[in-house]
Amino acid sequence: MKKLSVIAFGGNALLKSGQKGTIDEQEQNVYDTCQHLVPLIKEGYDLVIGHGNGPQVGNVLLQHEAGHRIYDLPAQPIDFCVAETQGSIGFMIEQQLRNVLAEHGLRRNIVTLVTQVVVDKADEAFRNPTKPVGPFYKKEESEALAKENGWVFHEDPRKRGWRRVVASPKPLDIPNWEAVEKLAREGTIVITVGGGGIPAYIDEQGKMVGIDAVIDKDLASSLLANKVKADEFCILTDVPNVFINFHKEDEKKLERVSVDEIGRYLAEGQFAEGSMAPKVRACIQFVEKGGRDAIITEAEQLGKDSGTVIY
């Protein structure tokens, strides 16, 4: 039986530090990342791709705010903006992956699904926003924007500046996961749960209603990986491995580590929130709910028996 792998593209697969986010920059980044999927595709893997949208959805929110302020256009809520970026980023991944496959003489159907993800309206995250979106600001700029718009800002763990943070509730369900599994196991590469999915909750009448939030893309991809019974769950980031004592003299690279061991490191605060902690948490979730191996690495290491493997 062919292996099914769910791969979550990190933000650097779309936009690298210091870039403005032009279409040329993003398409080149996606193209480069997709090249690293070729060995898996040649091995016959079935693939599902998730992706982040932090910088992009933040920029779309700014565009809506500017349109409202300058032209009196109605600014749209975050869930609407997540849907916009699901479509635009999915288009970029699908197009560049098609180009990469054509170069290598490979043929696969590729489909992008705009996907809602169900959350709990009473989730504690709505009272404690933590999810970074949009660009980095200087401290003075963030303070002015917070005062003007009522936004909340946190300093980046890597000291790259200040970013707006919004609620990041836990994903509970993915309504179309069965369609994703069917397509993927038939050989179609599926791009889905973009940006963690479009956040929605079920109201008292049983209707699905959008809500202002950004769901963590790694947790949503992990949930999907369990639902489709993936053999592997892989998170692509900008480092080849997970480290403990990161950037300290006794820094240690983790290669193959049990879910219990890495869970202890997480509890000790070894991994920064808004950076590595959500990725580790998503991998723990996948393994504890029946998944086999979860991998955190950079795109260049895919298929090379490297990276941090959590079992």
Of 90, 194, 217, 274, which residue is the catalytic one?
217
Of 12, 29, 53, 59, which residue is the catalytic one?
12
Residue 36 CB-half CA count within 13 A: 19
Instruction: Please indicate whether residue 11 is annotated as part of the active site.
Output: yes
Q: Specify the DSSP element, H or E, that contains 4.
A: strand 4-9
Instruction: Please indicate whether residue 279 is annotated as part of the active site.
Output: yes
Residue 65 CB-half CA count within 13 A: 13
Long-range contacts of 24-31 (CB under 8 A, 24+ apart): 26/92, 27/92, 27/95, 27/96, 30/92, 30/93, 30/96, 30/97, 31/96, 31/99, 31/100
Instruction: Please indicate whether residue 131 is annotated as part of the active site.
Output: yes
The dihedral built from the CA positions of residue 63, 18, 157 and 9, taken in this order, carries a sign that is positive
Instruction: Please indicate whether residue 226 is annotated as part of the active site.
Output: no
Best CA proximity match to 88, nearest among 224, 196, 195, 200: 195
Of 53, 90, 131, 195, which residue is the catalytic one?
131
Instruction: Please indicate whether residue 217 is annotated as part of the active site.
Output: yes
Of 29, 54, 279, 291, which residue is the catalytic one?
279
Best CA proximity match to 283, nearest among 310, 302, 253: 310
Rg from Cα positions in the chain:
19
As annotated, the active-site residues are 11-12, 131, 217, 279
